[in-house]
Each structure stands twice: as structure tokens, then as C-alpha cells.
């Protein structure tokens, strides 16, 4: 039985792709859906599908970032609005892709290739991901300051001083070496506004400053936690983000 994940932030397009796949490949089981990149990665780690259909542009992590995290554990099909450069890159490497709006002709071709390839190892994506990331991810400005409440006062915190962010009921805790403050901005918004090279999401409720990580531990049942410089907190790493620490 072949199982698949479908990730697209547009519900109608996601449903349309599922319906078309159901007609063209009745044996394929859609085991999970996701509306953003973070949810897609969590669904992958939970369900471990054989194939992932990933919209390139999604909130949170992009489809390219999800593909990089999944690595060689899954066959990837990229779903994209038409982009001449991206399509040429897919075709140069004979990678699997479909263009929105999805046509049955293109989907039939892709399904036929996937049926043949699914018995073998997934394709190498490293070169393609580097190429597309450089083209599709223009440099953008990230948060430089956090406006946070500390008691009755409003505090302006330089972003590099933040050790980690943690969701706490209706607020998000902003933890620095000097103490804690509160903001109303949710973790999901922060992931889009922080530099992903500096701030790593390690749990759906936690983002950590990579430069503040003092060490990584794994307990007897395989759960990973990170220790933070200048803080007593030990932060849990969920399965969807363990790949960040494989080389540490």
C-alpha cells in the first residue's frame, strides 16, 4: 500500500489534487493533509508516508524547506504555480512536479513515473533545492527588535538578546539572560518574521536562538532536549525538528 501526504495552503486546490489522484491512482492512500510547512513536517514525522506532494510556497516552512528536512526518506512531488525557472529546473533533473492549476494529462504522467519509482529509493534533491532556493527565496528583512511587556512597562529588546520564545496560553514568553517578558504575537507569526538561520523552531510552541544553545541531550527513550546558555530551562525538541540536531 502506497501512502501519501498532501500539503497546500489553499484548501480548494488541496481537495482538487486529492480528488484527481483518487481517480488516477485509486490504490494511493492519502494518509495526511497539511495547510502549512510546519504542519506538513509534523504530519510526515507522524505518518511516514511514501510520497509527499508539497506546495512550494506555504506559510511557515516552504515546500523546499520541508523537502530538505525530509531528506531521502520520501519521494517528493513539488506543486507550484507556474514559474519558468522552476519548471526548467524540475525538467533538467527529471524531478516530479505538477503546475497549478493541475491538469489530468500532467498528473497522469507523474503518477506513471511515481508507480515505477516508488519501489526504489527517493531521488537526490540537494542540487535542485540549492538552485531553487537561490531563485525563489529573495533576501528579506527580519525582525530586529521585540516590543514586549514586562509588568506595566513596555520594553524594547534587540532580537539577538532573545534566548528563546515559548507559547504560554494567550501570550508568548520572550526569554533573555536578564529575565522574561510577554508578547501577544503567536509562534506561528514569529516563524515568518525571524531569520531561520538564527532562530530555529524546535517545537510547535518553541523557537530558540541557535547561538544560545549550550548543548543537546537525549534521554533513555530517545527524547531530545536542548540546554540554553544563561538559563535553567531545558527545552523539549519534538520529533518534527530532531533533524536539526543530527550533526551535533
User: Edge-to-edge strands of the sheet including 206-209?
Assistant: 153-158, 145-150, 179-183, 171-176, 162-168, 206-209, 199-203
User: Edge-to-edge strands of the sheet including 3-7?
Assistant: 29-34, 3-7, 51-55, 75-81, 97-100
pLDDT tens-digit map of 65-81: 999 999 789 999 999 88
Q: What is the DSSP letter of 121?
A: P
Grid-cell match 492512500, residue found: 29
Residues of the chain where predicted confidence (pLDDT) is lower than 50: none
pLDDT of residue 205: 94
Query: What separation, in Å, do the N-terminal and C-terminal C-alpha atoms of the chain show?
Result: 35
Ordered domains of the chain (ranges, CATH): 3-136 (3.40.50.2300), 145-245 (2.40.50.1020)
Give this prediction's pTM. 0.60
pLDDT of residue 165: 96
Amino acid at each position: 500500500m502506497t501512502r501519501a501526504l498532501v500539503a497546500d495552503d489553499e484548501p480548494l486546490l488541496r481537495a482538487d489534487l486529492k480528488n484527481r489522484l483518487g481517480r488516477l491512482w485509486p490504490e494511493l492512500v492519502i494518509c495526511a493533509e497539511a495547510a502549512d510547512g510546519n504542519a506538513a513536517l509534523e504530519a510526515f514525522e507522524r505518518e511516514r508516508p511514501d510520497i509527499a506532494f508539497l506546495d512550494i510556497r506555504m506559510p511557515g516552512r516552504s515546500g523546499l524547506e520541508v523537502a530538505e528536512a525530509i531528506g531521502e526518506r520520501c519521494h517528493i512531488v513539488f506543486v507550484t504555480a507556474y514559474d519558468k525557472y522552476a519548471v526548467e529546473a524540475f525538467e533538467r533533473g527529471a524531478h516530479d512536479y505538477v503546475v497549478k492549476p493541475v491538469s489530468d494529462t500532467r498528473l497522469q504522467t507523474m503518477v506513471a513515473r511515481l508507480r515505477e519509482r516508488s519501489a526504489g529509493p527517493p531521488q537526490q534533491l540537494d542540487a535542485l533545492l540549492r538552485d531553487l532556493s537561490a531563485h525563489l527565496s529573495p533576501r528579506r528583512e527580519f525582525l530586529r527588535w521585540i516590543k514586549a511587556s514586562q509588568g506595566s512597562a513596555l520594553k524594547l529588546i534587540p532580537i539577538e538578546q532573545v534566548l528563546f520564545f515559548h507559547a504560554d496560553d494567550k501570550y508568548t514568553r520572550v526569554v533573555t539572560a536578564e529575565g522574561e517578558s510577554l508578547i501577544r504575537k503567536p509562534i506561528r507569526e514569529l516563524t515568518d518574521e525571524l531569520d531561520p538561520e538564527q532562530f530555529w523552531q524546535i517545537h510547535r510552541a518553541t523557537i530558540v536562538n541557535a547561538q544560545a544553545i549550550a548543548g543537546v541531550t537525549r534521554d533513555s527513550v530517545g527524547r531530545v532536549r536542548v540546554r540554553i546558555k544563561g538559563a535553567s530551562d531545558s527545552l523539549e525538541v519534538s520529533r518534527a525538528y530532531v533533524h536539526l540536531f543530527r550533526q551535533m
